[in-house]
Structure 1
Amino acid sequence: MRLHYHKLGHGPNILLAFHGIGQDGVSCFKTFEETLGQHYTIYAFNLFFHGKSTGINLDSVTKSIWAEIIKDFVAENNITHFDIAGFSMGGRFALATIEAFPEKIQNAFLIAPDGVSEHAVYFLATRFQLGRRLFKWSMRHSNTFFKVANALKSIGLLNDSLVRFTRNVLDTPEKRQTVYKSWTAFRPLRFNIPAVYKLAKENNIRIFLITGRFDKLLKMGAVKPLSRLLPEKQNVILKSGHSQLVAQTGVWICTLFE
């Protein structure tokens, strides 16, 4: 099994990059080519159900499936060591890559990452068969779904920015299908963050947690299980909202090469 990817930049270092929900490798990481293309050759993957990888039909994406994909990819491309970057949903795949290949990774850039903790809405929508059935039904009846979203906002489970973001990524039947497949298929990608951090330390991996000061979608509490473990210099807070955070991260990563 292979995922489609875009090759960006021409630098001597290798970066594997994993995008967010509703994106693809180019739409998420094109700015990395502009800022980091001299430092990195960037392999920006189209994750399952996104971009030209939409033909992959899996009900469940396990850590072992992911490890085999990356194992085959690095072997085919003669890659011995690499850095990784994961934005939002892509954070789950970055964490899974750390677990599978700690000896090959030097730097991990987790950008407003998913997977550090689990939002209550995601838990309810994916962890149980009844919840998945209700989630599937709601994706087919979007008017009802958005009424529920507004109700959750009113009791504080969702904020205004998250509701607006949700409307944007779910405004067509195709997008709703992508979100449903992604959320449910990626549910096996769960992590013991202290164990991941311990593994990273044992293998001299530098994990950089990068968040946006003005990001309304990611609450800082969601990444606290990781942020409290990292050295202060690896907790990076940029003057950015959610949509510009990847671009701003590229600029910041450049400072590591100075």
Structure 2
Amino acid sequence: MQGTVRFLELLNGRVAYRELGYGPKCLLAFHGFGQDGSVLLPLMRAFPEAVYTCYFIDLPFHGQTKWEDPTFSHSDLMQIIRKLTAGRPWEGLGHSLGGRLWISLLPELKLRPERLYLLAPDGLGSSWGGLIDHTPARMRYRAACWLKRPLRFLQLASLLRDWGVIDRFALRYLQTQLATEATRRRLFGTWQSLLAFKLGKNRAQQILAGADCPVEVGLGKKDILVPARKLTAALEGMPQVHLKLLDCGHWDMLQQWQPAKGAHNSG
């Protein structure tokens, strides 16, 4: 089941999304960095099509979305939410980067979700999240200049790997993300946009502690990007947050996770 790819025309771009199901409740889902809405298709097994209409969205700079502006913001994502929900009851889901976006948006949402699902969410203690939250704006500008000379930047990254400053995974990640002009634009456009979605552990804890809807958080015991131990410590004791630990890594979370029993029957 691949779903029908449709498009939303916004002021700053043309947003692609996959629509599946025909139920009265909406599920709006955001994927992780470097992916697109198609990676979320396995989740259809967890959301009955007679109960949900699912919208798996290609984020700006990703997939089939054509984003014209240099960055995206809270208002852009909230416009997507308003257009797709059209006043209907809805729930939100985010994996990795998508989880960060939902946490950051939560205090500003006038029409609240009935439930929020965060799968290996960034922004609560991951190493990449720290890079996003703590890199100064001046350093981001310098990075933009470096990205215009990716070979030189990758040579520097290789030296940093030899010196033990970054690990092999980080080097391979940079090699992939800097391979083409399109991937470089995706990397830098997203990175610059996330200035508006800065969290940090304390801010994320504050938002989730004040959430007025149930929040389900799925964590992988083998996840090296979003360590389950760190997030469990950060989220324990919040009555509205339900934690589920799975025997999986960061990316196969989408094949293994299931919502809590009875979630589809509660508001």
TM above 0.5, yes or no, is yes
CA change 1:219–1:143 in 2 (3 A) is: farther
Q: 1:9 Cα deviation (Å)?
A: 2.7
1:57 aligned residue (55, 61, 69) = 69
- Cα distance in 1 for residues equivalent to 2:227 and 2:170: 11
- Cα distance in 2 for residues equivalent to 1:163 and 1:256: 43
1:128 is the counterpart of 2:137? yes
Q: 1:96 Cα deviation (Å)?
A: 3.3
CA change 1:74–1:212 in 2 (3 A) is: same
1:181 is the counterpart of 2:181? no
1:211 — aligned with what? 219
1:43 is the counterpart of 2:52? no
Paired AA for residue 36 in structure 1: F
1:93 is the counterpart of 2:104? no
Q: Deviations for 1:202-223, whole angstroms, at most 9, x for unmatched residues? A: x2x1112211111122234663
Identify, as 1 or 2, the structure richer in helix: 1
1:196 — aligned with what? 207
Give the TM-score normalised by the residue count of structure 2: 0.77
1:139 — aligned with what? 147
SS for the counterpart of 1:52 is coil
After superposition, where does 1:1-258 map in structure 2 within 5 Å?
A: 1=10, 3-26=15-38, 28-38=39-49, 39-59=51-71, 61-75=72-86, 78-79=87-88, 81-101=89-109, 104-117=112-125, 119-123=129-133, 125=135, 127-129=136-138, 131-150=139-158, 158-191=166-199, 192-200=203-211, 203=212, 205-220=213-228, 223=231, 226-231=234-239, 234-249=242-257, 252-253=258-259, 255-256=261-262
- Cα distance in 1 for residues equivalent to 2:40 and 2:226: 19
Does the Cα contact within 8 Å between 2:30 and 2:95 map onto a contact in 1?
A: yes
For structure 2, which runs of at least 5 residues remain unmatched after alignment? 1-9
- Cα distance in 2 for residues equivalent to 1:242 and 1:190: 21
- Cα distance in 2 for residues equivalent to 1:155 and 1:48: 35
CA change 1:64–1:194 in 2 (3 A) is: same
2:5 — aligned with what? none
Q: 1:16 Cα deviation (Å)?
A: 0.6
Structure 1 outlier segments of 4+, above 6 Å: 154-157
Give the TM-score normalised by the residue count of structure 1: 0.79
- Cα distance in 1 for residues equivalent to 2:140 and 2:255: 34
CA change 1:163–1:40 in 2 (3 A) is: farther
For structure 1, which runs of at least 5 residues remain unmatched after alignment? none
CA change 1:116–1:124 in 2 (3 A) is: closer
